[in-house]
Structure 1
Amino acid sequence: MLAIIGGTGLYDLPGLQVTERLSGDTPFGAPSGDIVRGRLHAHELLFIARHGAGHRLLPHEVNYRANVFALKRAGATRLLGFSAVGSLALEVAPGALAMPEQYVDWTRGSRERTFFGGGVAAHVSTARPVSAGLVAAVQAAAQRAGTAVARGLTYACVEGPRLGTQAESHLLRQLGCHLVGMTNVPEVFLAREAQLAYATVGLVTDYDCWLEDPAQHVSVGAIFERYGQTLATARRVLDELLRAPLPEPEAESRQALASALLTPDAALDEAQRAWLSVLRA
């Protein structure tokens, strides 16, 4: 089943025939809000708004573990996120849709970034953290919708909530990053730990602040002005995606824990076995 994580401005899915709302905590705390289950075209879907109703959670306040765990517990096998991003590459212009396939974690370590620890040891490979099949499916849907999606990009995740300095913007460019945002880490890595095929659609709102022209520098006003226009395009692409069969998740996603767990089952307590069984499913 496909789960959608809606970012800024994407707080619901128009046309979704809601069949159930799932609430309640997880072993990792409370998610951002209810999980909505429903049908759109031929697909059963799950949906959660990353920042909660009314956009009340800043990026560092989102309980990414609870969101991913709740979606996996509800039956997700694939996870497609949507988020606003800044561009660090001239060819990825504001207004475009862009799908990263690599990540650089530039957060400060204050976010809970793994399900493991506390007596459960695992080291999951994230060499290729994104589902190439899901990216290709979104790219094909975009072409059918008459637009394009830039792919093969590297996303730098910064802590926020402040917008970055020009020196930071230049540094991330030197690291080979094409996009910058505040929300995809640890989401992408938790999805791999939960054995979910993950991809994200970035809605490019600005050139961050690496260009010399101050008029091109990121601001909240500019983000929301352009984001609304780009969001309409992203919704069309999502609608087109859901009119076709979805690719099967890759084995490297769905079997990520097969050789990653170090702690034997006999050393786990009942609560650990319970939440680990959800990730392993």
Structure 2
Amino acid sequence: MLGIIGGTGLYNIEQIVIKHAHDITTPFGKPSAPIIEGKISNKTVFFLPRHGTSHDLLPHEVNYQANIWALKKLGVTHLVGVSAVGSLQHDIAPGDIALPEQYFDFVKGNRKKTFFGKGVAAHVSTAEPTCQILADSIEKAGKAAGILVHRGKTYACVDGPRLGSKAESNFLRGPAACDLVGMTNVPEVFLAREAQLSYCTIAIATDYDCWQDDPSLHVSVEQVIQRYGASLEKAKKLLLAFVENDDLINSADVCKCRTSLSSALLTPLDSISGNQRIWLDTLLR
């Protein structure tokens, strides 16, 4: 079952034939918005706007735990995010699409980055934090639709909501060896792994952040909005091509992402209390 998390500018998908809106309260609070269940080309999908339906949530205000848990509770097994990012490399031009495969956590605030704790101990592997099978399928859909998709890129996640300094941008593209910078994929990607979901992000490069010498190339909100419309349409075209043409989301194939807790949970299940078992049993499905 496929879930889609929409980022900046993607608050609904017109092609979804809506069946139901799920207004869920989770053990971790409320998700960003009601989750839309519907059909695209006869395939069931669940859609959630990350920042809310009116974009009223800043990156650090998103309840990532509730979003991921609610999607898993509804039966989602494969999760595709859509995110606006800055490019830290010449070869990823504004308007290009990339599939991040590695993540550099540069978030210094107090986002809740794990489901575990308070009596339940687990340590999942995030050596390869995204699903390669899912990424391969999206890339395949991109080739069929004539859309260039960059692979093998590293996404640096920062706190926001301010745009970064030139020193930070140069650090991320230099010593940290990152290719993209954004504000939302951490902890989303790592919570998805804890929830045993296959996860991948379609990242839309809107700018060159601020590492270049020419000040006119430094990112601004005005610049992002001006360029974003056409790029978002390209990302939606890619997403729809993937949904319409790929059988992965309806298959029973299980990749290693779907069993990430099999050797990660340290606390014996018989010692975990009833309330904790409610949320944990959902992750273990």
Normalised TM-score (structure 2): 0.97
Cα drift, residue 42 of structure 1: 3.2
2:55 alignment partner AA: H
2:242 pairs with 1:238: no
Cα drift, residue 229 of structure 1: 1.2
2:281 pairs with 1:277: yes
Cα drift, residue 266 of structure 1: 1.8
Counterparts of 1:15 and 1:182 in 2: how far apart (Å)? 27
TM-align CA RMSD: 1.0
Conserved 8 A contact 2:141-2:246: no
Residue segments in structure 2 that go unaligned for 5+ positions in a row: none
Structure 2 counterpart of 1:202: 203
Cα drift, residue 109 of structure 1: 3.8
Structure 2 counterpart of 1:157: 157
The number of equivalent residue pairs is 281
Percent identical among aligned pairs is 52
Deviations 1:233-279 (A, max 9, x none): 11111111112233356532110000100111121110111111100
Question: 1:80 is paired with a residue of what secondary structure?
Answer: strand
Structure 1 counterpart of 2:214: 213
Counterparts of 1:178 and 1:24 in 2: how far apart (Å)? 36
Counterparts of 1:125 and 1:252 in 2: how far apart (Å)? 11
- Cα distance 1:178–1:250, how it changes in 2: closer, same or farther (>3 A)? farther
Structure 2 counterpart of 1:224: 225
Structure 1 counterpart of 2:267: 263
Conserved 8 A contact 2:81-2:200: yes
Conserved 8 A contact 2:137-2:246: no
Conserved 8 A contact 2:164-2:210: yes
Structure 2 counterpart of 1:74: 74
Counterparts of 1:150 and 1:136 in 2: how far apart (Å)? 11
Deviations 1:220-239 (A, max 9, x none): 01111111110011111111
Post-superposition, which runs of at least 4 consecutive aligned residues in structure 1 deviate over 3 A? Answer: none
2:191 alignment partner AA: L
Counterparts of 2:179 and 2:62 in 1: how far apart (Å)? 24
Conserved 8 A contact 2:36-2:47: yes
Question: 2:245 is paired with a residue of what secondary structure?
Answer: coil
Question: 2:82 is paired with a residue of what secondary structure?
Answer: strand
1:189 alignment partner AA: F
Counterparts of 1:50 and 1:243 in 2: how far apart (Å)? 23
Structure 1 counterpart of 2:108: 108
Conserved 8 A contact 1:42-1:242: no
Counterparts of 1:196 and 1:24 in 2: how far apart (Å)? 19
Counterparts of 1:65 and 1:29 in 2: how far apart (Å)? 8
Counterparts of 1:265 and 1:132 in 2: how far apart (Å)? 30
Counterparts of 2:125 and 2:247 in 1: how far apart (Å)? 24
Cα drift, residue 25 of structure 1: 1.1
2:31 pairs with 1:46: no
2:4 alignment partner AA: I
Deviations 1:47-97 (A, max 9, x none): 000000110000000000000000000000000000100000000000101
Conserved 8 A contact 1:23-1:35: yes
1:203 alignment partner AA: I
